[in-house]
Chain A
Amino acid sequence: MEWASQLCENRGLGSKMTDSKYFTTTKKGEIFELKAELNSDKKEKKKEAVKKVIASMTVGKDVSALFPDVVNCMQTDNLELKKLVYLYLMNYAKSQPDMAIMAVNTFVKLVEDQGFLDTLKDLISDSNPMVVANAVAALSEIAESHPNSNLLDLNPQTINKLLTALNECTEWGQIFILDCLANYTPRDDRESQSICERVTPRLSHANSAVVLSAVKVLMKFMEMLPKDLDYYGTLLKKLAPPLVTLLSAEPELQYVALRNINLIVQKRPEILKHEMKVFFVKYNDPIYVKLEKLDIMIRLASQANIAQVLAELKEYATEVDVDFVRKAVRAIGRCAIKVEQSAERCVSTLLDLIQTKVNYVVQEAIVVIKDIFRKYPNKYESVIATLCENLDSLDEPEARAAMIWIVGEYAERIDNADELLESFLEGFHDESTQVQLQLLTAIVKLFLKKPTETQELVQQVLSLATQDSDNPDLRDRGYIYWRLLSTDPVAAKEVVLAEKPLISEETDLIEPTLLEELICHIGTLASVYHKPPSAFVEGSRGVQHKRLHARAGSGESAENTDVGQTGPSEAPSAVIPSQGDLLGDLLNLDLAPPTTTIPSVQPTMQMGAMDLLGGGLDGLLGGDLGGSPSMGAGLGVAPAAMPATLGGAPAVGGGLGDLFDLGGGVGMPSGSYVSPKTVWLPAMKAKGLEISGTFARRSGVIQMDLSLTNKAMSVMVDFAIQFNKNSFGLAPAGPLQILTPLSPNQTIDVSLPLSTVGPIMKMEPLNNLQFTHRQIHVHATQELNATFENTQRDRGNCQYPLSLLFVEDGKMDRQVFLATWKDIPSENESQFQIKDIHLNSDAATNKLQGINIFTIAKRTVEGQDMLYQSVKLTNGIWVLAELRMQTVNPNYMLSVKCRAPEVSQFVYQCYELVLRN
């Protein structure tokens, strides 16, 4: 009630302020009078006095002389009085900064006095539902700005209070309470069921925001219910109608609802599988609603409803809006890929659409038919003739590339394939990269299929790609083909004409972990953008990731099989997404232009890259690389000209393997676990520069991986980092390599190698590292057309895992181990328990080896595995450990012995970290 009564008070303040009595004319000695009144003992009188002061202030009289007296009034529990004083302070703080400082102490006292927060917390248990709802809203708002303050500690009692208040408070209060409930983790499935039961009535609320927040709570807690429970099925059924109802609301509401439904159908397709029709598009829906509906239609498409869906999609393809028509045509292709039984129907629908000769429809149709070919090879080639008729009307790169791919892929069945491709070749340099790459590949395919007639063509395209092009991708691909063809056409055939991995049915499914996080954020901006909140919400909530809680009892495997039956199956390993990965790239499956632009490569660099490819081949071909005509002539007979010593195919194969590794392996630390980056220096502290990072040990080198994000408005340059003295002498081995300026909202990732030869000082805790970071802010001013710079230094703090310091030669001799173990006094031994690890001893050994914890011996006694392990730190300290694991008990026992016992604790942390990940 206090909360509510404060509200009333505020209102009273508002209405009384309009009274004019405070503005009456000045009397003599007024300041003196006011002073007396301000120091009066009576609260009422004090308040009146402050009001008079403010009134004088508003009309422009100088009342700054009263400053100390007014500030004294601040120490009161009367909210109205407090607010009045603040008003006064705000005014004079600007003009009289010296005096304002005097007030700071009082503020500090107020802030330290957390009584206010405690009162708020108590209010959660208030009897008035409106008070509860407002308290929850206030606490959530405070928690948002202070992510680490654990303000809303939810327990079954408070949850119960919240649920009671939920039924009675206003619609807005219900939203706050539901959003707060969604953060709670129920103890067991019973509790989550009872919460679900009490939240379900909210699904019938007239306010759609309440409905969606309730859906969030239910979707989240449902995860904990056992699937065989009757209630689970009931709940699933109850979720569908409210979601459908949201779609009859205003278009803006529909849009947000649809974005969320998109997530829900990915997580639980069974909820809406019978509701396909509500997603049918009305011609006067806004475009943003149309596109979302279309997306969901495809997700819900199944064998049962495909006929309806296709009829609708065909209808949409005749609409006015070009974007929508394109997406509809694409959708037909996706249906074909998703529902195999419908493929034939889809293809014939697409052919009908091609007959309309509407330019963008034809192009879109060709792009999707290419995907259908990839999914069902050698099935629908009969339509190629129809496609070829439309060759001339294609003017978009994607459609041209698709058509070229089809011609190349089925070159042996198209009589005039060489003519067709040749016609494209004429304007090679005017084509986009996508088309050029495709053309190169298609002609090479053609050559491998019909070598006799197309030699000239292939030489032409190779020289165009390698000599006349500025594009490194194109050149590289050209060289790879050239070499392949010249060294071993058989191998070339194997590579280029290899059987292609099938494309998967759902290319744009959200990655499961992200989906889980987004489900926890239903109804929020994150759900509209389909991005985790940390990706875009400024400053708030930090890196708090939410996860769905696994259901108690039943295993995850059960869940997986279930998903396999109901929804689109989890992609088997042979299936790749059609976007293409590296392998696809080499097989020329990627029709999308490369997303990363590689800066133009210098000639010398090229030679280096070639070393990777050909190994010794360079010696032979190097001279010819300039592209003399004789080179081309030698193509067809290349193997004969190859000296046997070069190893021909194997060399190339190996080289290619390297290339694969190069692409696939970048950024993937092999073996050891690297913990995710954490924020070391939040942007608030460092004037807009956020530093997050982690440590890794990669093949013996300690590296500090940093992400610098500029969250300020100015550009930052000239970064440097310095370490304070620390326990193990960690120091940067070189300067921070950031050459480019960091513009606002940009992030740079950088790896800094570290050495262990720096100055040493014992830190508390042992693995603490303090660093100083410097950057220069560049502010551009428009008026002066000049820039200002100011240097910013910030101190950050981070802790590194001790495993960083475990060296590679830390494997102790068995005898030495035994002797040392005995030698170290038993008071230096520490025992730790590592709970809930489900690894067998071999897996554990391997994992630990990854961070240079070496297993010296293993003993099995009475169902217990004992691992004896040794670790050596960079400063030469040896740590010996014994890890005991029982087959029945998931808790491991770890005994650590070391001459420097203070490190034991941190060694244990490393065990814990690596075994859990």
Chain B
Amino acid sequence: MIHSLFLINNVGDLFLEKHWKSVISRSVCDYFFEAREKAVEPENVPPVIHTPHHYLINIYREKIFFVSVIQTEVPPLFVIEFLHQVAETFQDYFGECSETTINDNVVIVYELLEEMLDNGFPLATESNILKELIRPPTTLRSMVNTITGISNIGQTLPAGQLSSIPWRRAGVKYSNNEAYFDVVEEIDAILDKSGSTVFAEIQGGIDACVKLSGMPDLTLSFMNPRLLDDVSFHPCVRYKRWESEKVISFIPPDGNFQLMSYHVSAQNLVAIPVYVKQNISFFESGPSGRLDITVGPKQTMGKTVECVVVTIHMPKVVLSANLNATQGTYNYDPVTKVLMWDIGKLNPQKLPNLKGSLSLQSGAPKPEEIPNLNIDLKIQQLAISGLKVNQLEMFGEKYKPFKGVKYVTKAGKFQVRM
């Protein structure tokens, strides 16, 4: 199972190590550094690295490499999933998962790692259980701890861990009982030069924030459940009822969690909310080029498209950009060669346009590669797949909870080829 964990920042400093079995010398990371160097970009480091006696499985999150060492045959996905959960737990506890926060909370980090993995085997990875064992840091608590010397470890073993519903603790009590659901959909798409769709799909998820007393048993139903043919559920969801009745029946964990994620596949028609007219050209004569981009709304179901940002990774020879934006602001970073145009709200009457010239390194050949456009956007109160929640019912408890559902559509990996 998982032997050790090393945390390495993106400069290559090893700043934390944890061993669950015997200590493995950190020199094992040399193999990782070698691969890291070979990959040039940190994103390109292969996830599984083979060394003579160990396997290094790593993930890259928030500019930190989580490098785990294993010695025997362990399913790599098992390790990768676990590492992602570690990263998420850090995020959950410290607000963000960065080298600074980890160093600031190093005691809690070690406590968490010790609880999450026992002799290499995952033990308590559910956020609810962890929070009962190790209380998240607050300013007040850390002060009290420093003065009194009391640790922030819970004195009792969480009751939920051994029950058949390990995700919920017993004896939850709230004065305001509320349950909110966010239906978040992301569009992954590739559009070609002419604007037609090469590939598009929707990744959706329902994030829940449930603060209900006691042991509520919830049932969520949809107006159009047939849209969902490919779903992944939180362990709390009763799969049988979904299979037979297409409703989501569950005893919720306490607090924030992702109830389900779904995937509307490429075979269904996916509405594309914006179109892009773009033109980029580099002149054979003289070190310059032209750029002209217009963005407009397409299938938006009558909603406003907000927070539109266009990002272009320019070829290396582009030195600077002299452009004129009719709306929003643009910024060209000559180091990373990224042109970012922050448009904001899309006005269908007056389409935003970015136009101007690019200056290239003199003497360099005309760039061979053609840049791609990345688009970010947000549409409130719309799930682009058309998914609608019908109702939420609660059983098992007497009180009347506040209920609410919000929809939002975002761009995921939304790319336009130029």
Contacts and interface: CB of A to CB of B under 8 A. Distances in A.
Interface stretch (A241-249, A339-347, A843-851): A241-249
Interface string A181-219: 000000000000000000001001111110111000000
A205 B232 contact: yes
B48 A528 contact: yes
Interface string B57-101: 011110000000001111111101110100000000000000000
B24 to A, nearest CB: 14
A244 B46 contact: no
B335 to A, nearest CB: 17
A318 B370 contact: yes
- Chain A at the B interface: mostly helix, strand, loop or mixed? helix
B265 A244 contact: yes
A216 to B, nearest CB: 9
A206 B243 CA distance: 16
Nearest to A356: B368
B75 A537 contact: no
Contact of A525 (B73, B162, B199, B239): B73
Nearest to B234: A206
B299 interface: no
Contact of A171 (B199, B235, B243, B374): B235
Contacts of B76: 256, 523-525, 528
Contacts of B304: none
A319 interface: yes
A288 B374 CA distance: 21
B30 interface: no
Given A250-B59, A277-B266, A288-B44, A206 B374 contact: no
A5 to B, nearest CB: 9
A327 to B, nearest CB: 15
A15 B267 contact: no
B47 A282 contact: no
B47 A274 contact: no
A315 B82 CA distance: 36
B379 to A, nearest CB: 20
Contacts of A207: 81
Contact of A141 (B1, B78, B415): B1
A134 B161 CA distance: 13
B293 to A, nearest CB: 17
B50 A280 contact: no
B190 A280 contact: yes
B243 A201 contact: yes
Interface string B15-34: 00000000000000000000
A537 B72 contact: yes
A772 interface: no
B372 interface: yes
Interface in B325-354: none
Contact of A170 (B43, B44, B166, B258): B166
Contacts of A120: none
Contacts of B374: 284
Interface string A124-144: 000011100010010001001
Contacts of A256: 47-48, 76-77, 80
Nearest to A536: B50
A130 B123 CA distance: 10
B230 interface: yes
Interface in A25-79: none
A241 B370 contact: no
A835 interface: no
B53 interface: yes
Contacts of B80: 209, 250, 252-253, 256
Contacts of B203: 248
Interface in B210-265: 229-235, 239-240, 242-243, 258, 260-261, 263, 265
A745 interface: yes
B78 A540 contact: no
B265 A253 contact: no
Nearest to A207: B81
B388 interface: no
Interface string A391-418: 0000000000000000000000000000
Contacts of B369: 318-320
B233 A204 contact: yes
Contacts of A179: 75
A653 interface: no
Contact of B263 (A172, A244, A523, A524): A244
A244 B202 CA distance: 12
A252 B43 contact: no
A541 B73 contact: yes
A286 interface: yes
Given A241-B229, A528-B48, A172 B122 contact: yes
A287 B155 contact: no
B46 A255 contact: yes
A40 B54 CA distance: 47
Central interface residue in B59, B190, B235, B372, by most chain A CB within 10 Å: B235
Contact of B235 (A4, A170, A282): A170
A172 B125 CA distance: 9
Contacts of B175: none
Interface in A520-576: 523-526, 528-529, 533, 536-538, 540-541
B155 A15 contact: yes
B78 A209 contact: yes
A209 B77 contact: yes
B73 A526 contact: yes
Given A280-B190, A288-B46, A525-B48, A248 B77 contact: no
Interface in A278-315: 278, 280, 282-284, 286-288, 312, 315
Nearest to A170: B166
A201 B75 contact: no
Contact of B164 (A168, A242, A248, A529): A168
A170 B161 CA distance: 10
B121 interface: yes
B290 interface: no
Contacts of B43: 251, 286
A319 B313 CA distance: 12
B415 A205 contact: no
A319 B48 CA distance: 25
Contacts of B50: 529, 536
B185 interface: no
A255 B232 CA distance: 19
B190 A209 contact: no
B411 to A, nearest CB: 12
A540 B73 contact: yes
B181 interface: no
B198 A280 contact: yes
A275 interface: yes
A201 B82 CA distance: 21
Given A250-B59, A525-B55, A206 B72 contact: no
Contacts of B231: 204
Interface in B280-339: 313, 315
Interface string B348-387: 0000000000000000000011101010000000000000
A287 B38 CA distance: 12
30 contacts: A128-B164, A129-B164, A170-B125, A170-B166, A171-B235, A204-B233, A205-B232, A206-B260, A207-B81, A209-B80, A209-B81, A241-B263, A244-B265, A245-B263, A252-B58, A255-B46, A256-B47, A274-B267, A278-B201, A280-B198, A280-B199, A284-B413, A286-B43, A287-B39, A288-B44, A288-B46, A315-B417, A320-B315, A525-B74, A540-B73
Given A204-B231, A318-B370, 6 more contacts: A8-B157, A130-B162, A170-B235, A250-B80, A252-B59, A253-B84
Interface of A: 4, 7-8, 11, 15, 128-130, 134, 137, 141, 144, 168, 170-172, 175, 179, 201, 204-209, 211-213, 241-242, 244-245, 248, 250-253, 255-257, 274-275, 277-278, 280, 282-284, 286-288, 312, 315, 318-320, 356, 358, 523-526, 528-529, 533, 536-538, 540-541, 745
What 4 pairs across the A-B complex have the smallest Cβ distances?
A241-B230, A209-B77, A252-B47, A172-B122
